[in-house]
């Protein structure tokens, strides 16, 4: 189903490209748009993730540089049954995060420095579980390719604005076709982003909650992230709005048209769904299971725990005490 959705998405975006080419240059323009669209799709499949990471100045980190964050991602990846993704940090004050990559074997997760400063360890676990859910669902390919092609459609609209001519014999609609491309191309790209992002965010919230075991962690994090994104600008995202749907919360300041054109679902609805999911999980899970749910540990907790556990192959002395099957 993941591959089918991707194929349908790419076919729809190709149709947009070809329609815009038809309105700008007739059959010749449509053929050029077809060739250009195939090239963009091929390039986006293999390289769009690297482009997005470079666009935001993301730097890859190792366990030595960020041990707590790296170990948290590794633990959640194991719980999700995923390979360890590459871990990136973006030097950006706005708290946010996204995942990218064409498949789980080539995935990457990125978090801003503002996110790491703002959230508690449990809230951070909820956010990264959400991003790993995108990887698990193979949403990262669809979202990254969509960002690339939406950007190309916007570029086509700019081309029509500056170079379009209504007196060409190859343009069947004349100046009307140029105006339609200028208006409809970015609007169509925005509508595709909205349709993709809103449905996938709800699903990633649900699966991310299952990965970390606590929907309330993500609900608490989302409330903080929404306030942070509202009050802190993200200059790179404002310059590249086609990538906005990749983030866990909307990085753009679209206050006046938030409900109509936002690439993300309403935050109150997301939090309400997570709270309802937390209540359902609390009712279904036995007390013994809830007591042993995984919780992110701080380094000092890990060091104390590891010091009390004997290494494999080490000799231990038997302690005096009551004998029995559980001695």
pLDDT of residue 327: 38
Report the alpha-carbon distance of residue 132 to residue 125 in Å, rounded. Answer: 10
What one-character-per-residue DSSP string does 109-164 give?
EEEEHHHHHHS-HHHHHHHHHHHHHHHHTTHHHHHHHHHHHHHHHHHHHHHHHHH-
> For 198-229, how does the pLDDT look when each residue is reduced to its tens digit (9 = 90+)?
678 899 999 999 999 999 999 999 999 999 98
Mean pLDDT over 40-55 rounds to 82
List 68, 131, 226, 284, catalytic entry: 131
Report the alpha-carbon distance of residue 200 to residue 143 in Å, rounded. Answer: 9
SS3 91: coil
Mean pLDDT over 10-19 rounds to 74
> For 125-142, how does the pLDDT look when each residue is reduced to its tens digit (9 = 90+)?
999 999 999 999 888 877
Instruction: Find where tokens 């140029």 sit.
Output: 178
Mean pLDDT over 59-77 rounds to 95
Q: Is 284 annotated as a binding residue?
A: no
* Residue-level length of the chain: 327
Active site residue 203: no
Domain boundaries along the sequence of the chain: 2-250+262-282
Report the alpha-carbon distance of residue 184 to residue 111 in Å, rounded. Answer: 33
Q: Is 201 annotated as a binding residue?
A: yes
């Amino acid at each position: 189903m993941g591959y089918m959705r991707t194929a349908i998405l790419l076919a729809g975006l190709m149709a947009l490209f070809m329609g815009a080419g038809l309105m700008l240059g007739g059959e010749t323009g449509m053929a050029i748009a077809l060739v250009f669209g195939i090239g963009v799709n091929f390039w986006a499949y293999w390289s769009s993730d690297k482009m997005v990471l470079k666009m935001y100045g993301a730097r890859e980190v190792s366990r030595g540089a960020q041990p707590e964050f790296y170990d948290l991602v590794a633990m959640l990846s194991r719980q999700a049954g995923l390979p360890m993704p590459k871990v990136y940090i973006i030097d950006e004050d706005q708290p946010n995060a996204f995942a990218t990559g064409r498949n789980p074997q080539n995935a990457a997760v990125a978090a801003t420095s503002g996110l790491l400063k703002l959230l508690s360890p449990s809230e951070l676990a909820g956010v990264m579980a959400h991003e790993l859910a995108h990887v698990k669902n193979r949403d990262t390919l669809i979202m990254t390719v969509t960002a690339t092609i939406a950007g190309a459609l916007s570029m086509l609209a700019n081309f029509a604005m500056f170079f379009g001519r209504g007196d060409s014999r190859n343009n069947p609609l004349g100046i009307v076709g140029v105006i339609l491309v200028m208006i409809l191309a970015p609007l169509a790209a925005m509508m595709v982003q909205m349709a993709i992002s809103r449905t996938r965010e709800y699903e990633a919230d649900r699966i991310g909650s299952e990965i970390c075991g606590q929907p309330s962690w993500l609900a608490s994090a989302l409330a903080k992230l929404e306030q942070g994104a509202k009050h802190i600008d993200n200059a790179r995202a404002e310059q590249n709005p086609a990538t906005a749907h990749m983030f866990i919360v909307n990085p753009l300041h679209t206050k006046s048209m938030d409900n109509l054109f936002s690439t993300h679902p309403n935050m109150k609805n997301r939090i309400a769904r997570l709270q309802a999911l937390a209540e359902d999980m609390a009712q279904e899970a036995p007390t013994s299971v809830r007591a042993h749910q995984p919780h992110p540990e701080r380094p000092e907790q890990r060091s104390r725990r590891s010091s009390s556990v004997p290494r494999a192959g080490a000799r231990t002395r038997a302690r005096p005490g009551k004998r029995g099957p559980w001695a």
